[in-house]
Amino acid sequence: MGVVTKIKQFVGDEGELYECRNCGEKFNHEPEACSTCGSSEIAHYEF
């Protein structure tokens, strides 16, 4: 699976992606903390 295809899975209808800066887990909504590692450092990308 290509990188673009993989990213498109997580990009919501708004064209946004959230990613944990600690472990790289991706979300299609803004979490308070990463469900994988517990970090509260979440990056926000707009496409």
pLDDT tens-digit map of 9-24:
667 667 899 999 999 9
- What was the pLDDT predicted at 8? 65
CB-CB contact of 29 with 18 (8 Å): yes
pTM of the full structure = 0.74
Nearest to 6 by CA among 29, 31, 32, 24: 24
- What was the pLDDT predicted at 32? 96
**Which of 35 and 12 is assigned the larger pLDDT?**
35
CB-CB contact of 21 with 42 (8 Å): yes
CB-CB contact of 16 with 44 (8 Å): yes
- What was the pLDDT predicted at 47? 81
Query: What is the percent of the chain where pLDDT is above 90?
Result: 57
CB-CB contact of 19 with 7 (8 Å): no
